[in-house]
Amino acid sequence: MAFLLRRLLLAIPTLFGVLVVAFLLLYIAPGDPVQAMIGERADEETIARLRAQLHLDDPLPQRFGHYVASVARGDLGRSYITNRPITQDIRERFPKTLQLAGAAMLLAASIGITLGVLSARRPGGLFDRLSLGIAYLGISFPVYWVGLLLILLFAVTLRVLPPSGYGRLRFLILPALALGMRSIAFLARMTRSAMLESFGQDYVRTARAKGLAERTVTLKHVLRNALIPIITVIGLDFGAYLTGSILTETVFSWPGIGRYVVNAIGRRDLPAIQGTVLFLSAVFVIVNLITDVVYAKADPRVSYS
């Protein structure tokens, strides 16, 4: 509990810094926010009334105070384009991004860790060289290129999966695979390296001397003690999926929060950009906090007292 409180207190300066940057975004960006809302044909009286409602004529510290108070109430403002509350847009779209990120991470963890374990059991063998080749390819190719290639192969050529959209499970397979490809590569290499290091430890030789089966030694002793770097990669990548799946959602027309940000940028909807930046920063901090807590569960040697 003390560790959680310390980490939460340390997260406050980070989130406050993001809050300041998000606030200044509206005033640093070129153009008049009121003109973006109502167009260029509005009369001066309407413009003056809206500027007063949005506190745009107040001193900058006073405007920042209004913004902090609104965020504290859970009010991230309204979209210039749709005039909908941004929190409502986030509630509708973030679960779809969470669904995509969860599927991609599950796919990456199951495939990547399996490849790493099998490679570490027979280093230098045919399967080891093959999995390392797959890992290098997964790291080298950008996600949008992988996405277009998957669409060309499975949707256009083989016609077994839909190229884009949102719906049943079959719509999730291609975007999850495209998003998780780099994590598959990283996890395979990380698992292999960590397990090869663990295989040379004294506790592994002791376990083998006791007559334990090689499968038990690999999974119960070697893999568990190699989990710390693996958990680090999973935590960082999952946080990145939740906050940075913009390209994947755009390529596959996935109606998540990443595509929402792209549309907001294209239409200069600055309050929507502000709100999503602040929300996604908080999500990333929370994911990192959960990752640190999982360390203690995976490795009893880690202490947070």
CATH code of residue 227: 1.10.3720.10
pLDDT tens for 56-104 read 777 878 888 888 888 888 888 888 777 889 999 999 999 999 999 999 9
Residues 205 and 161 in one domain: yes
Print the domain residue range for 14: 2-72
Q: Does residue 305 lie in a domain region? A: no
Residue 206: what are its φ and ψ, rounded to 5°? -65, -40
Whose CA is closest to 115, among 192, 179, 180, 183?
192
Could you give the CA distance from residue 33 to residue 223 in angstroms, rounded to a whole number?
54
What share of residues in the chain are helix, strand, coil (percent, to 5)? Answer: 75, 0, 20
Taking each helix axis from N to C terminus, what angle separates 170-199 and 86-121, rounded to the nearest 10 degrees? Answer: 40
**Could you tell me the pLDDT band of residue 36, with boundaries at 50, 70 and 90?**
low
Query: H/E element holding 290?
Result: helix 270-298
67 and 101 assigned to the same domain: no
Q: Write out pLDDT tens, residues 201-240.
A: 888 888 888 888 878 888 777 887 788 888 888 888 888 8
* 32 and 172 both lie in a single domain: no
Round the average pLDDT of the chain to a whole number and report it.
Answer: 83
Last residue of a domain, one of 40, 72, 104: 72
The reply to whether 238 and 166 lie within a common domain is yes
Q: With respect to residue 163, please indicate whether it lies within any of the assigned structural domains.
A: yes
pLDDT in tens, 260-290: 988 888 777 878 888 898 898 888 888 888 8
Residues 124 and 220 in one domain: yes
Number of domains observed in the structure of the chain = 2
The stretch 243-257 carries a mean pLDDT of 87
| Same domain for 214 and 150 | yes
* 245 and 101 Cβ atoms separated by less than 8 Å: yes
Same domain? 151 vs 285: yes
pLDDT of residue 90: 92
125 plus 194 within the same structural domain: yes
> Shortest CA distance to 113 belongs to which of 265, 255, 223, 245?
223
Q: Are residues 56 and 124 located together in one domain of the fold?
A: no
